[in-house]
Each structure stands twice: as C-alpha cells, then as structure tokens.
C-alpha cells in the first residue's frame, strides 16, 4: 500500500536555542503562516492565489505548493490540473515531496484510464509496488509487446514482496494468458512459505492440483503447528517430507519449546536425514536451549560437529557456558572465536571475565585495563571489575563560526533547518542527507553542531557516529529536557538519569518521533500502555498527538518505568529490559537463583533488547559524567539479577 505524504506536526515547539551564526531565514511570523497553510493543504485545501509576498518568498513555499497540488489530485482532476502538476514536477525534481506527488498524479492518470499519459510521465526507477503494477497495466492497455510483458510480469509476480490492489488487473491478465502454470504457482508458493507468508501461501495453494499441493500443505502445517506435524511425521517412518519444510517447522519449535524439539528429534531418528541435515537440527536445538538458558545446552553444543559451528553457535555457546558458570568451557570456546569477532570489545571483556573466574587475575587485569581506556558499555564494565573509578574519553568540540555561517548560506542546509523547525521531519531528513553527504569531514562536524543547536540531535549524533566522534559528549549527550525530567523524577521517585538514558535511546530527544510499531514521543510510548498508566495515575487518557507533547509524555513514560522498577523489586537492569521487550518476556528470563547482571544481560535472547540495556546503561553513565564529573554507582545499577 502506498504511504501517504508525510504529515508535518504543527504543535509549537519550545525552540529556545539561538540559530547561530547567520540571520534566521524567515521571521517566526512567516514560519507560523507556513505551518498553518500547510496544515490546511494537508486537510484538503487546494491551491490559492492570495498568498502574500512574504509567504511566496519563503524558502519552503514550493513544499506548500506540492501539498496543495496533492490535495487537488484527491478531488476532481482534469487536463488543466495535469498540466499544472506536470509543470511543477518538472520544475522541482529534487523537492522531497515530489516523488509522492508524482505517484499521486500517476495514480490519478491510471484511475482515469489515461494510460499513454501515464507512461509518458512515469519514472521507471520508482519501484513502489502499487506504481509498478499500474505501469504493467499501462503497458497492457497500450498494446506493448505481449511476449516481453508476459516474461517481465511473470518474473515480477514470482518475486513481488507484496501485492496491492493495483496488481489485481495485470495479474488477472497474466492468468488469462495462461502464464500462471501449475509450476509457476508452485514456485511462488514455495517462496511464500520460505518467507513465512502463510496468508499468501494459502491463497496460492487453492490454485494448485491437490497432489501437487500436498507437500506444500504439509509445509504450511509445519509452520502453523510444528509440534503436531512433526509428531505425525515421527509416528510413521514412511511419511514423506521435504527437508526445507521440516527444517522451517523444526526451527520454530526449537525456538519456542527446545525441550519438546529435542524429544521430536529423537523420535524422528537419525536415519531419515543426511549428516548435514541432522547436524542442522542439532544446531537449532542447541541454540533454542541456549536462548531458553537451559543447562543441557552445553552438552548439545559439545556434541555438534565442527561443520555446524557457525557465527551464531560461536557466540551462543560462549553465552551458555557463562550462564552455567563454566568458566573453563567459556574460555575454551572464546579462544575458538574467529579472530575478528574475538577482538571485539564484547568478547575481549568476556575473555577477561573468564580468566578472572579461573583465578588468572594478572591476565584478566591486563585486558580490563586496555578496555577501560575506551568508551562504551564494555569499557564501563571493565572498570567495574577492576573496582576503579571510570572516566569516559571526551573530546572538546571546536566551533568554527565562519564554517557554520558558510553552511547556512547553502540552500539545502537552510531548507533542512526550516523544514525541521516547522515539524516536517521526513522532508527535512531528505534535504539534510542531500545537503551534507558530500561535505568534507570537518564541515560535516560543523553541520552536526548546527543540527544540535536546532534540537535535531538525531542528525548530529549520526554525523558523529560516521566520523567516529561520539566522544564529543556535549553533542552526543545534550542537556535536553533536564528540567521536566528532574521534576518528573521528584514526582515518581524514578531516578532522573534513568529517564534521561531511556529518552536518549528511545527518541534521541525528538518529541515528534513515531516508530514503526506506533510508539510515540520522547519516551516512545504505545498508546494502550500510555492510557493504562494514565488510568492508574488518575489522569486523562492521552491521544496519539498528546504523546508528542513532552509535558504529557515524560510523566507517563517515567511512570511506566517506575511501575517496571517496582515490579522487579527496584532492579535497574530488568526494568530497562522490560521497557523494551515487555515485562512478561523479562519475567520468563529471570533466573531461579541470583546471577551476575553482566551475565544476565549477555544472555538476553532478544538481540535488540540485549543491545538496548547495554546502550541505556552507557547513556546514563556518559551523561552523568558530563553533567557532574562523576559516573553513577555502577555496582548499584548492576546488582545481581534475581526473581523478586
């Protein structure tokens, strides 16, 4: 489905920082009039002729025109509108809104059956699925070479990631031409099953003869209920199966219930598989047991043939040994890591940690001391293990006012700033990327300073990361929203550094942030979660737009973190993990007996959550050091993880 034109947020922003080094390109008045006019356009108001000269001269006036043309296309399009939109698209090919305007115009042409006009103005490089299907339909309607069309459209049908409504007519034509043979449908069904797209696979299976569909229906059953279908296959040694299908189902079962998977593997027997296939099922079982923190994972890893030891096994067998407290085995497997992997800070730390457990203190301290000289989570842990004060490495940023002034003379930088300040983050991001991608390294750092002063910390931090300059802590860890954070901390009892660390990780201080899963605002709250927290605190139920307001988002996010902290008996690590993965998942991961926090974090089965906890702890540390000159009590944050 085609995405709508990005919607700007028109809430007034508390942008108190000066826009350094150059005069503001537009007075606040014209910027506000632009916001209002753009909001009206996005609500359906078409082009106007009474805009004042100041608005017409504003650097973002073409963006307003684009939004108005889009509004007009949603109403009654005609030849005159086509002429005006065509002229606009030709005049503004680089405008961030132009690709979406072109798509909307082409869709309008298609809806009116103006296929030759569609092809005349089509951008063949645009791979939007809906537009691609309209392109094929245009070629069908205008009598393009049928042989070429059959060949290309069939190839697209077999690999299309999604099939929007606009694909129905060209696919119907393809079927009418007899191009969707049983063999072609089978290949597409296999791809759908391999991708886990059961809905599409079910639809395609209806087009296939029963005998041909039978093994693929078994594959679908293996994906839906792997335990039951594996039991059927195991109970009758003569039951045929396809390896790819069985592996897909077994992988799901091993991740969901590794003990049951191990039982099914025993029932299936060794003789029904090649050596390579059986080793793969052993590998999946071992990984599932490790993700579930089962002690028998170690034996499964030990029995794996060397040919089944891939990157995932290398890492997870070390984690399993750490969880089981088998330092000797962990050390042995750490030494078998590929050289590049073993040199990473993560595994350097765990080599030192294993040596420490084995009583080789001198060797471990050498590794710890080297790590502790750098920045990051594992460097902080190294200092913690040494029981020494930790001091992050910090670089002083040197402002170049002349360079910043030159940057602000560039139309791309100027437009990116104005788009950001008017709440049009998506368009602003496009302009910013174009304006900064060819800058030399020194100028890019000065651009990062500008972005940071505007409150656009995401872009500032991205440039720092690309330049290996995240140790410019004043830009990496700005003093944003400290007043509201501290006020909320007093109200909720949640430490202010915890809230800051979460905010830095969740949104990089963008109050308008919206995630792919529809989490909103500074602390990225899902609407149902925010409403539950509000209800428990006796507050009004917020809307999605409310959650983009810091004064609403911060107390609710901090309140939710406080609830998680209380649920996990004041423990920082499980509370932060639960903010990302959900409290039920974290509850499943809690150990039967207290375990060192670093070991628990390393064994979090969700890669995203594992990294999330590590980053939040580092954010808390880096900002506290920058603010106070001292790091927080690492031992208090990393108390052994226990079940409350």
| Residues catalogued as catalytic | 506
- What is the residue whose two structure tokens read 């099914």? 264
Task: Identify whether the C-beta of residue 185 lies closer than 8 Å to the C-beta of residue 207.
Answer: yes
Q: What tokens were used for 245?
A: 């299908």
* Among 257, 254, 256, 243, residue whose Cα is nearest residue 282: 254
Task: Identify whether the C-beta of residue 59 lies closer than 8 Å to the C-beta of residue 80.
Answer: no
* Among 164, 2, 34, residue whose Cα is nearest residue 99: 2
515: exposed, middle or buried (Cβ count in 10 Å: 0-12, 13-18, 19+): exposed
Q: How far is CA 148 from the centre of its chain?
A: 38
At a CB cut-off of 8 Å and minimum separation 6, what does 494 contact?
Answer: 488, 558, 559, 561, 562, 565
Question: Apex CA 639: angle with CA 638 and CA 644, to 5°?
Answer: 125
For 69, 522, 568, the CA distances from 508, given in Å and listed in that order, are: 34, 8, 26
CA dihedral of 523, 525, 531, 534, whole degrees rounded to 10? -10
CA–CA dist 558, 497 (Å, integer)? 11
CA–CA dist 415, 69 (Å, integer)? 20
CA–CA dist 319, 53 (Å, integer)? 66
CA–CA dist 292, 294 (Å, integer)? 6
Q: What is 292-337 written as a DSSP string?
A: TT-TTHHHHHHHS-GGG--HHHHHHHHHHHHHHT-HHHHHHHHHTS
CA dihedral of 267, 271, 277, 280, whole degrees rounded to 10? 40
Q: Which residues of 399-434 are buried (b: 16+ CB within 10 A; e: fewer)?
A: ebeebbeebbeeebbbbbbbbbbbbbbebbbbbbee
């Amino acid at each position: 489905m085609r995405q709508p034109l990005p919607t700007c947020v028109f809430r007034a922003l508390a942008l108190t920082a000066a826009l350094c080094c150059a005069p503001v390109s537009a007075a606040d008045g014209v910027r506000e009039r632009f916001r209002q006019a753009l909001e009206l356009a996005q609500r359906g108001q078409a082009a106007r002729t009474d805009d004042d000269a100041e608005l017409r001269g504003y650097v973002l006036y073409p963006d307003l025109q684009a939004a108005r043309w889009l509004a007009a296309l949603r109403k009654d399009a005609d030849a005159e509108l086509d002429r005006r939109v065509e002229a606009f698209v030709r005049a503004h090919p680089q405008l961030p809104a132009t690709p979406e305007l072109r798509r909307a115009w082409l869709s309008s042409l298609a809806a009116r059956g103006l296929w030759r006009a569609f092809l005349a103005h089509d951008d063949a490089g645009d791979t939007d699925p809906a537009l691609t299907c309209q392109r094929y339909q245009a070629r069908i309607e205008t009598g393009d070479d049928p042989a070429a069309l059959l060949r290309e459209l069939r190839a697209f049908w077999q690999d299309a990631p999604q099939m929007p409504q606009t694909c129905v007519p060209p696919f119907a034509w393809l079927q009418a031409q007899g191009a969707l043979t049983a063999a072609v449908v089978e290949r597409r069904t296999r791809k759908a099953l391999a991708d886990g797209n059961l809905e599409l696979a079910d639809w395609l299976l209806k087009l296939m003869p029963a005998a041909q569909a039978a093994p693929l229906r078994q594959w679908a059953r293996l994906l839906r209920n792997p335990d039951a279908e594996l039991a059927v296959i195991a109970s009758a040694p003569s039951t045929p199966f396809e390896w790819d299908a069985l592996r897909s189902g077994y992988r799901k079962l091993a991740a969901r219930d590794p003990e049951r998977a191990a039982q099914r593997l025993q029932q299936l027997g060794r003789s029904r598989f090649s050596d390579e296939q059986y080793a793969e099922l052993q590998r999946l079982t071992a990984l599932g047991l490790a993700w579930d923190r089962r002690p028998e994972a170690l034996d499964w890893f030990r029995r794996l043939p060397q040919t089944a030891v891939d990157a995932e096994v290398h890492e997870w067998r070390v984690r399993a040994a750490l969880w089981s407290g088998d330092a000797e085995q962990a050390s042995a497997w750490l030494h078998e890591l590929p050289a590049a992997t073993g040199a990473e800070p993560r595994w350097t730390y765990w080599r030192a940690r294993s040596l420490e457990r084995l009583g080789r203190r001198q060797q471990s301290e050498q590794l710890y001391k080297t790590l502790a000289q750098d920045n990051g989570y594992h460097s902080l842990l190294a200092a913690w293990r040494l029981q020494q004060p930790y001091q992050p490495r910090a670089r002083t940023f040197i402002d170049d006012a002349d360079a910043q002034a030159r940057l602000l003379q560039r139309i791309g930088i100027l437009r990116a700033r104005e788009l950001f300040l008017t709440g049009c983050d998506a368009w602003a991001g496009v302009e910013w990327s174009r304006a900064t991608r060819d800058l030399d390294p020194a100028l890019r750092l000065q651009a990062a300073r500008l972005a940071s002063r505007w409150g656009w910390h995401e872009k500032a931090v991205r440039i720092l990361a690309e330049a290996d300059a995240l140790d410019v802590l004043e830009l990496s860890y700005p003093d944003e929203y400290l007043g509201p954070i501290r006020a909320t901390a007093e109200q909720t009892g949640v430490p202010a550094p915890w809230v800051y660390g979460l905010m830095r990780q969740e949104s990089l201080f963008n109050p308008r942030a919206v995630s792919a899963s529809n989490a909103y605002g500074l602390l990225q709250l899902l609407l149902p979660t925010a409403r539950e927290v509000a209800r428990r605190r006796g507050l009004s139920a917020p809307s999605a737009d409310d959650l983009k307001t810091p004064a609403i988002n911060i107390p609710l996010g901090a309140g939710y973190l406080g609830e998680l902290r209380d649920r996990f008996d004041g423990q920082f690590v499980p509370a932060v993990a639960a903010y990302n993965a959900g409290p039920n998942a974290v509850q499943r991961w809690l150990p039967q007996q207290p375990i060192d926090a670093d070991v628990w974090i390393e064994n979090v089965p969700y890669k995203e959550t594992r990294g999330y906890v590590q980053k939040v702890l580092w954010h808390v540390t880096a900002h506290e050091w920058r603010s106070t000159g001292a790091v927080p009590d690492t031992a208090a944050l990393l108390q052994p993880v226990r079940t409350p």
